[in-house]
Amino acid sequence: MLLTRSDDLQILLAVVDSGSFSGAADTLNIQVAKVSRSVRKIETQLKVTLLNRTTRRIELTDEGRQFIEAIRNGLQVIQQAEEEVITRGELPKGHLRVDAASPFVFHQLVPLVAEFKQAYPDIDLEITSNEGIVDLIEKRTDIAIRIGKLEDSTLHAKPLGKSHLYIVASPKYLELRGTPTAPQQLQQHDLIGFSGIKALNKWPFIGENTITPHMSSSNGETVRQLTIEGNGIACLSGFMIKKDLEQGRLVALLEEHKLTNTGRELVNAVYYRSASPAKKLTAFIEFIQPRLNL
């Protein structure tokens, strides 16, 4: 016999994810008193303290951390089982939150949205863009597109392909400043890099290859636009500049010197591990993967 009710467990999860009792109340549209009662009831039934409360924040105890991880997986399995029964024979439905860096959103996802909505009219897409790595639980994100090597072992990754790196400049810049023929010559040029994630300033060459940018931005699309406008040389992923290369807005440089397997080329769809991913999540991944132009 279960000691705790699933609705109380959902409230406990909301407290942990939002970081406060009031945050959980806002998320679930219930009174703070009800949140407090549910948490207190669970702790009384289990005869263990799950949360340490302070005036500024809450923290999970060791027992609480283990319990939360177990119930999160358990409730997810129950929810997916209910979805499978309810939607058997039907198209996937529901709200799907997708997160990716803004260049990936602009150049890869946005062109696919209309076709996806036509194929799956009952899935309500919410697309967010963050330049850094987001916490899927904290941001209530179902699936994120991540570029490069993955570090978080708690996530399940579905490989979407590889997007090669290119060293690029505009014809206008090259006409004015000349074309470098060796990586060492880049020191004589204006380089555009990233201010947020310093690892993105490591360019794909052998040896000492971390550049010091003369101009930088935390946003990849801004770096692309600066490069197209002739402000310097940049290192960008193919998923955002392939059309620029094809249409002559940008020129690829130093191709014969470039390394091709740095780990930054990897593109993955990531989501939290579960016994069976939700149908809407699987539908999205299977739809976009063959249509991406990486």
- 13 by Cβ neighbours in 10 Å (0-12 / 13-18 / 19+) ranks as middle
In this structure, the number of other CB atoms found within 10 A of the CB of residue 267 comes to 23
CATH number at 6-86:
1.10.10.10
CATH number at 98-156+271-291:
3.40.190.10
In this prediction, residue 196 carries a pLDDT of: 77
Give the Cα separation of 294 and 192 in Å (integer): 22
Q: For 165-189, write each residue's pLDDT tens digit.
A: 999 999 999 999 999 999 999 999 9
In this structure, the number of other CB atoms found within 10 A of the CB of residue 134 comes to 16
Domain 165-257 sits in CATH 3.40.190.10: yes
In this prediction, residue 265 carries a pLDDT of: 94
Q: For 20-45, write each residue's pLDDT tens digit.
A: 888 888 888 888 888 888 888 888 88
Kindly tell me if the per-residue pLDDT of 160 is higher than 90. yes
Which sign, positive or negative, has the C-alpha torsion 279, 280, 282, 288? positive
pLDDT tier at 74, thresholds 50, 70, 90: confident
* CA atoms within 13 A of residue 108's CA, in its CB half-sphere: 32
Tokens standing for residue 176? 């004015």
In this prediction, residue 274 carries a pLDDT of: 59
Give the Cα separation of 38 and 236 in Å (integer): 50
Kindly tell me if the per-residue pLDDT of 5 is higher than 50. yes
CATH 3.40.190.10 residue ranges of the chain are: 98-156+271-291, 165-257
CATH 1.10.10.10 residue ranges of the chain are: 6-86
In this structure, the number of other CB atoms found within 10 A of the CB of residue 31 comes to 10
In this prediction, residue 1 carries a pLDDT of: 47
Q: For 203-261, write each residue's pLDDT tens digit.
A: 999 877 899 999 999 999 999 999 999 999 999 999 999 999 999 999 999 999 999 88
How many residues are there in the chain?
294
Is this prediction's pTM over 0.85? no
Q: For 249-285, write each residue's pLDDT tens digit.
A: 999 999 999 998 888 999 999 987 654 567 899 999 9
| Contact in structure between 55 and 25 (CB atoms under 8 Å) | no
